[in-house]
A and B are shown apart, each in its own frame.
Chain A
């Protein structure tokens, strides 16, 4: 590892220049995506294969997530910006020979739009990337996350240099206030104001904490930032510390993210070796060091006071606010807690100025936001878009529409604390205030696309189940209320609910929302409330008509035998494990629905398509 001590701005610049020169000496760089999706599909083997071929003046390196997980494993070749998709280790020899040695493009490995059939050689032209704006993810996929040099070569730690050498803490905070950056972890509280409160708070010791306890099902933005660009988080944290006067920082990351933990640890180690963490950073008065604290993965530990309790070695349970952590936080000292994406955005703001940042996004929600797009959408992956882009843009422009040409039904945004937005809200701008108005929330940025075959009641039940299990059990409305809400949701999908149950559901939902202690409880009813608001007819279908319109809930399924198609072969009778099918040979048999376990064995067995769900 090519590290050295960097004790001044001059040395930082020199170092950056040297790494840039090293990189420029290469003809080509192969960037193999080792984001979670590509890694699972064999990216490490691809990287090994590249390294086994030695080509002069070509470097192969692993990077963090490129974003377009749907078509991974991804390999990008610079400086030509050529992207190969669905790469297999067997393809590497050909890539080396054709592209690296001869400069030819391999047609079968470039991305083709499934709708138009058009081929795209360069990453920036691919529709998935074309309407994205990358700030927090700017380095993600472009650098080797284990090499501080590559980060520094891309202006890394310049912002910290500016903050500790050029700006006073108040000026740093002023720039953050001007930028209008709001917390990306879900709450959307102005980051600069949080810092200002902590700066003004009296205390001999102050702390900064990075909340890396990403817990929403289907969300992996913070994970990808830590895995792909750990130094941006570290730099953001150091800037925050210099602004409020803290000399100690914590990164609270869930132990279920072992790679993110390892990358962050390595980043801290390298930064210490370079002197970018430690005493008198860059020759300034500012001293700072970071401790990485692994969390055990409780969802509630994403709530800031529960997170602090966990760092202190206590059970992760929220406590009432005020006092806010800015005044009484970790170990009772003034503390700010910022999420990973927020901190990764900070260096860019300090480097490029608040006006630049304000130029992106909307008036009340400036900047960009990352989303993890999953579910029934053609292009799943990690994206970053300007705040205020519409849901329609995300689903259709970037996401490539609903998978399999099905009809869009809803987007679940914000995870268990968020809500389901129906088709009529496709033009909702994705920003804090618009989403709140729609009953959802930006949350951390999980975005699950649901198609027409999705039962919205079942979706709400799923999230209720999640929040109920993850409730810390402290306050009564959340602990007991979510349990009863789940009970009712289970009755509804099982076809046992009445309209009185629906009334009770709405009433408890209201109490949980109004009177819970922390944000987890206050937002827990959102999936139910938004589906009730936008898909009430589906609830009524389950309760009154005893039907699941999407055909998902097994309680309402009943198999019927179409006598006009049945040949009376009796195969269904023989395969039925429950003995629910009876009848004479040569005659259409009969299904006893009280015995039927709805396993579907008869449907599979029938050679004539004579059995179906009715």
Chain B
């Protein structure tokens, strides 16, 4: 055996086995060095300084930033190191809103946990000086800057994984804070509400907007019938909230738990996932056989964060999105339209609750496309975490609950609907259906078409496959995380890659890694959940959506033909462009003078990238050179929703597009000077 390279950690000889930094090595040695800002899936930030160690000849260093070197002698527990850690905790607590008992992160807060672990009993320094306003602007997330410890985890997950960068630091010193651009609220910027920021936040600074109270109110109202739908990813994660290992899966417990808290009927989102597969496969085969590539590749539209992303960043691909509603919204539509009559109750007295692994689903449920007469199809969305909290509130012993079956008719589903929770699941479900539908001849008895498509399974950000289905080559990409999606779109745009169908889920690993899932939700945990969901699929008798008898019955009784008019009206939708940043314009003069010529230059992302700052500067120079500052109200504005023709300028209500820097003089003469002469 070759001599292994080793590091001495607290007297223990530990082999180096490809660890990326000393922190990982120390943790491998069984010593849980505390951290706030270290995440193995994000870049090393080195800011919280909790993981300090003492290294011979190097002194005190943050272990996350050090490469392990053979022969290093490391100490992790000295009087000095303890003093540093404790002081850092005390300093953080001194500038922290310490209303722990009423904080939504109470019991799950890393700061609270470490303060307890290090026995911080006294905070000597000033009470928190300034109370900043909370951001309740979105239906998905709540930002509380008073709880922020500036570890930057949210900034990095948004910037590095999702590559959106909605959050960043602003201001300096003790005034430094994290937030969206221009101090705006999340709802006014291009946040897709995927919630990955909340899932990495160690404190209560970014949390999931809670709908628990609304659901309790409905449950306790005797005139309301509360029906729940449970997304596939819940059944492989809820157990973690009650002490089970990741990957523990027991759908019957989830149903029983929902009943125990007072939900009247419990259905399965996998049922409408099957419905989605039927519709989406038909749509796909239709586009594929049309002979035109205009609406190819077809993009999946189950993920609301992805849909919002396309609306904001790539409106040119809106026609490529599948027009199918997501399983959650199909369930809402089916429940509101058909279930109430099945149950013999008024549609208004039906209260539809979703249990989702996702924060963006809260946003999706609030979209006007999914409401009739102001009443949303889905009344409330609970995340896995919220459901767990409700179960705990009742005092029910989760482990002692007897398992219970889903209710009929919307509780029966196939394996294809279940794997929707995994990245690659939607694609595989569609492939199963397509393989079946395209098969030249059906074998009697046992159906022989392909069921498992290994090519699209796994936790990589991008999986590419060319699948042969009944002699047809289907080129596909399966994407999880919006950063990976951006790269795939770039390849499609440049022609480097050609696909027929692209599945996109915004969260790493798909819905099983959604921000509503129990914490922690790192790679190892996601692996277990993914495997569990495929196991659930394997155990199903029915594994193709088309084989779902209740889906067939739904078509027979209400929807008519697949892709037909009734199906279209209930199960399909359309999306439009969406501005990325909203709110007030930026004015350059404080004075308000009536009758000034209104000139707005868009400084939104597209226009900015196409040189609108130069236009703005050029116009400012000319306005001041001509002494027209009192006559022209020049201001920076955000988005005329004409991003394809950026940069845009609006003069007295008329938008002029594709303006170049060379044209500034012309625009100034023709549009500004000429108007003022009038």
Interface residues of A (CB under 8 A from B): 298, 300, 315, 317, 319-322, 468-477, 479-484, 487, 500, 504, 507-508, 510-511, 514-517
A298 to B173, CA, bound (A): 11
Chain B residues within an 8 Å CB radius of A480: 88, 91-92, 94-95, 174
Instruction: Select which of B47, B88, B175 is within 8 A of A474 by beta carbon.
Output: B47
Chain B residues within an 8 Å CB radius of A319: 46
Instruction: Select which of B48, B60, B67, B125 is within 8 A of A475 by beta carbon.
Output: B48
Q: Are A481 and B91 in contact (CB under 8 A)?
A: yes
Q: Are A477 and B88 in contact (CB under 8 A)?
A: yes
Q: Are B52 and A469 in contact (CB under 8 A)?
A: no
- Which of B79-87, B208-216, B253-261, B558-566 participates in binding chain A? B79-87
Q: Are A470 and B91 in contact (CB under 8 A)?
A: no
Q: Which of A482, A507, A514 has the largest number of chain B CB atoms within 10 A? A: A514
A304 to chain B, nearest CB (A): 15
**Count of B residues near A, CB < 8 Å?**
36
A474 to chain B, nearest CB (A): 5
Q: Are B49 and A471 in contact (CB under 8 A)?
A: no
Q: Are A511 and B83 in contact (CB under 8 A)?
A: yes
Q: Given A470-B173, A473-B172, A484-B125, does the pair A515, B47 have CB atoms closer than 8 Å?
A: no
In this complex, what residue of B is CB-closest to A471?
A: B173
B50-91 residues at the A interface, CB under 8 angstroms: 52, 60, 62, 64-67, 80, 83-84, 87-88, 91
Chain A residues within an 8 Å CB radius of B176: 471-474, 479
B669 to chain A, nearest CB (A): 31
Q: Given A483-B95, A517-B47, does the pair A473, B174 have CB atoms closer than 8 Å?
A: yes
A475 to B173, CA, bound (A): 10
B438 at the interface (CB under 8 A from A): no
Q: Are B172 and A469 in contact (CB under 8 A)?
A: yes
B127 to chain A, nearest CB (A): 11
B676 at the interface (CB under 8 A from A): no
A317 to B172, CA, bound (A): 10
Q: Given A484-B94, A508-B91, does the pair A473, B173 have CB atoms closer than 8 Å?
A: yes
A512 to chain B, nearest CB (A): 9
Q: Are B150 and A320 in contact (CB under 8 A)?
A: no
Instruction: Select which of B48, B60, B65, B67 is within 8 A of A476 by beta carbon.
Output: B48
In this complex, what residue of A is CB-closest to B67?
A: A322
Chain A residues within an 8 Å CB radius of B87: 477, 481, 507-508, 511
Chain A residues within an 8 Å CB radius of B46: 319-320, 475, 517
In this complex, what residue of A is CB-closest to B36?
A: A476
Cβ contacts B134-172/A at 8 Å (1 or 0 each): 000000000000000110100000000000000011011
A479 to B62, CA, bound (A): 16
Chain B residues within an 8 Å CB radius of A471: 172-174, 176
Q: A468-B173, A479-B150 are in contact. List 4 more A-B contacts (CB 8 A).
A: A320-B44, A471-B176, A474-B169, A480-B92
In this complex, what residue of B is CB-closest to A516?
A: B49
B126 at the interface (CB under 8 A from A): yes
A233 to B117, CA, bound (A): 54
The 4 closest A-B pairs by CB, nearest first: A473-B176, A320-B65, A320-B46, A480-B91
Chain A residues within an 8 Å CB radius of B49: 475-477, 515-517
Instruction: Select which of A317, A473, A483, A484 is within 8 A of B171 by beta carbon.
Output: A473
Chain B residues within an 8 Å CB radius of A317: 169
Chain A residues within an 8 Å CB radius of B91: 476-477, 480-481, 484, 508
A469 to B125, CA, bound (A): 18
Chain A residues within an 8 Å CB radius of B64: 320
In this complex, what residue of A is CB-closest to B66?
A: A322
Instruction: Select which of B44, B83, B173 is within 8 A of A479 by beta carbon.
Output: B173
A474 to B44, CA, bound (A): 13
Q: Are A487 and B62 in contact (CB under 8 A)?
A: no
Instruction: Select which of B60, B125, B126, B169 is within 8 A of A473 by beta carbon.
Output: B169
Chain B residues within an 8 Å CB radius of A479: 150, 173-174, 176
A516 to B480, CA, bound (A): 36
Q: Are B174 and A475 in contact (CB under 8 A)?
A: no
Q: Are A515 and B84 in contact (CB under 8 A)?
A: yes
Listed by A's residue number, 30 A-B pairs whose Cβ atoms lie within 8 Å are A320-B62, A321-B65, A470-B173, A471-B172, A472-B172, A472-B173, A473-B150, A474-B47, A474-B150, A475-B47, A475-B49, A476-B49, A476-B92, A476-B149, A477-B49, A477-B87, A477-B88, A480-B91, A480-B92, A480-B94, A482-B173, A483-B173, A483-B174, A484-B94, A504-B125, A511-B83, A511-B87, A514-B80, A515-B49, A516-B49
A484 to B173, CA, bound (A): 12
In this complex, what residue of A is CB-closest to B21?
A: A320
A516 to B44, CA, bound (A): 16
In this complex, what residue of A is CB-closest to B151?
A: A476
Cβ contacts B119-135/A at 8 Å (1 or 0 each): 00000111000000000
A468 to B80, CA, bound (A): 24
A481 to B66, CA, bound (A): 24
Instruction: Select which of A470, A514, A517 is within 8 A of B84 by beta carbon.
Output: A514
